[in-house]
Amino acid sequence: MNIQRGLTVLCCGAALLIFSACGETQQKPARQPTPLDLSITSTLSGEVRVAGSVPEQAVLQLGGWSECAAQHPGGLPRAGDVLVNKGKLQNAVVYVQAGLGDRVFAAPTEPVVSDQKGCIFLPRILAAQVGQPIRFLNSDPLAHNVRGISTTSQAWNFSLGVKGASRTLTLEKPEAMIAITCDIHPWMKAYLGVFDHPYFAISAADGSFTLRHLPPGDYTIAAWHERFGTQSQQISLGEKEEKTLIFTFTGQ
């Protein structure tokens, strides 16, 4: 009887060791950030423009939802999908598409926040780093959900059923860009870019963008816009340089 009990203990212990070992192999060790000498890094800035006639913004059709319409007493809201001021394009995502090699960058701990307010995703365009928290919030007094249509990460779809509800997720693979929708209110759309580095920016109201602290090297820089698509340009940066890029999309 004692021998049997001893064998049982040994088998259980061996199984526990095997399970623990399997668990350890499944957990990938955190990659250490690559050291970056800020004394030799460069800055890339520029503008995103539109040449030709500018297409009209889409008008959001609220589909008879009185709770949504009540939050827009001035009439049906605009989508904000084309924001142009004197030929300068807002809400284009400019980012390093290639050239960083196998460098590793620490993810920020401050979350990127997407709010559902007035039955609209605010902001419409978001960008985050791989591993950075992305917080989805419902500020409306009615239910929404959040569906992320990703092709590189696992897609998600969750409900934010009451005002003040929120949920935070992180994505471990880069992707430009992920469409985000609300199944309850089909006009609600947003776009999220996820990058494995910090070199991205969303163009401001004057079309401007800045990418700081780029290490010397040869890069492909891309600019994405939901209505105009994606452009890319090549650029070389030496030590402590300041260079400018202009992206010009063609209107109608």
37-63: pLDDT as tens digits: 999 999 999 999 999 999 999 999 998
Structure tokens at 194: 């996820």
Mean pLDDT of 3-16: 39
15 versus 208: the higher-pLDDT residue is 208
Report the DSSP pairing between strands 42-51 and 166-169: unpaired
Provide the whole-model pTM: 0.86
Residues 113-135 have pLDDT tens digits of 999 999 999 999 999 999 999 99
Query: What pLDDT sits at residue 63?
Result: 82
Question: Which is more confidently placed, 251 or 28?
Answer: 251
Give pLDDT, residue 251: 85
Mean pLDDT of the chain: 89
Alpha helices in 35-144 (DSSP H): 66-69
The answer, yes or no, to whether residue 7 has pLDDT greater than 70, is no
* pLDDT for 2 beyond 50: no
Rounded CA-CA distance 231/225 in Å is 9
| pLDDT tops 60 at residue 109 | yes
Give me the pLDDT at residue 30, please. Answer: 63
Residue 82 vs residues 54, 67, 85, 207: alpha-carbon distances, Å: 8, 26, 10, 12
The least confident of 26-30, 141-145, 221-225, 242-246 is: 26-30
DSSP annotation of 182: -
* Res 64: pLDDT: 83
**142-155 average pLDDT score:** 93
Q: What is the reported pLDDT for 17?
A: 35
- CA–CA dist 39, 16 (Å, integer): 51
In this prediction, residues 20-49 reach a mean pLDDT of 76
Q: Give 184-237 pLDDT, tens digit per residue.
A: 999 999 999 999 999 999 999 999 999 999 999 999 999 999 999 999 999 999
Q: What is the DSSP string of 138-171?
A: E-SSS-EEEEEE-SSS--EEEEE-STT-EEEE--
Tokens of 211: 């990418």
Q: What is the reported pLDDT for 68?
A: 95
- pLDDT at residue 103, rounded to an integer: 95
